[in-house]
Structure 1
C-alpha cells in the first residue's frame, strides 16, 4: 500500500511539474515548429475568497503517504510531503464542498482534477489529483 500511495503522489507531482513546464514555452521558433500541442491554458484572475466560504476547509488534512494539506481562513493553502512543498496557492470555492486550486497565481477554472471535495461530515476530503483521502487533524493547542 505504501508503494502505491508513494507512486500516486509522485505521479501527481510529475503531472503538476509537467503542467508548470508546459506553460513555460518561452516563445521561441523551435518550440513553435515542434509537434502540435494543446493551446496554452489561460488563467483568470483569482476571485476574492470569503472566509465563510472556506471555513470548513481551514486546518490541516493529513494523508496516508506522510503528506498533508494546510489551509488558512483567507483561502491560502499548501500541499506538503516531507519538507517539500508540492503546491501552494489559493483554494477557490466551487460550492457543494468542492474547491479548485489556483495555479501559477491565477484561476484555471477548468482544472477540476486540481482541487478537493469535502465529505458530507466534513471530517475528510478527497484530492482529485490522486483520488487520495485526507483526514482532518485535530487542532493543536495554541494555534488559535
Structure 2
C-alpha cells in the first residue's frame, strides 16, 4: 500500500504544478496565460512540424500504476488522463535520444523541462519527468473479427 500512496502523492504533486485553467491544448490563450512549466517568464513559441517517424516509438497508450495513462498519436498529439480527467493535452515535441518535451498552452517552450517524457529500456518504458513515474506500453489486442 505504501507504493500506491507514493504514486498517488506524486500524481497529486504533478497536478498541483499545473497552472490554473490549464489544459495545454492546441489553442493558445494569451489573455490570462499563466506561468508555463519549467519556464517562469518564457512565452511559448510555435510548435515545430512533427514527423511521424520521430514520434513512432511514442505512439500508443502508456499505462501507469496510479490508474493514469498517456496516449500519443502519429502526429505527436497526446493526452495524460487520470480518473477520466485530462491533466494535459497537446503535442509531444521530439528532442532526440528518446526524449520529448510537451507543448504548453498551444506553444513550444523550446527548452527542456520537467514537462516531458523519456523512453527507456529499448522503448518499452516511458518515464514522465513531472512525477518521475514509469509507464508501460499497453499491448494492442488484435481481434478475430473482420480484417
TM-score by length of 1: 0.82
Which gives a bigger RCO, structure 1 or 2 (Cα 8 Å, sep 6+)? 2
Question: Which consecutive aligned stretches of 4+ in structure 1 deviate over 6 angstroms post-superposition?
Answer: none
Structure 1 residues 1-144: aligned runs within 5 Å: 1-17=3-19, 20=22, 26=32, 40-141=41-142
2: CA distance, partners of 1:75 / 1:6: 27
1:67-90 CA deviation, whole Å, 9 max, x = no partner?
Answer: 000000000000000110000000
Give the drift of 1:112.
1.8
- Structure label with greater radius of gyration: 1
**Structure 2 SS opposite 1:17:** coil
**Structure 2 unaligned regions, length at least 5:** 23-28, 34-38
TM-score by length of 2: 0.81
1:109-130 CA deviation, whole Å, 9 max, x = no partner?
Answer: 2242000000141100100000
Give the drift of 1:17.
2.7
1: CA distance, partners of 2:19 / 2:59: 26
1:43-81 CA deviation, whole Å, 9 max, x = no partner?
Answer: 110000000000000000000111000000000000000
Between stretches 92-101 and 109-118, larger displacement belongs to: 109-118
Matched length:
131
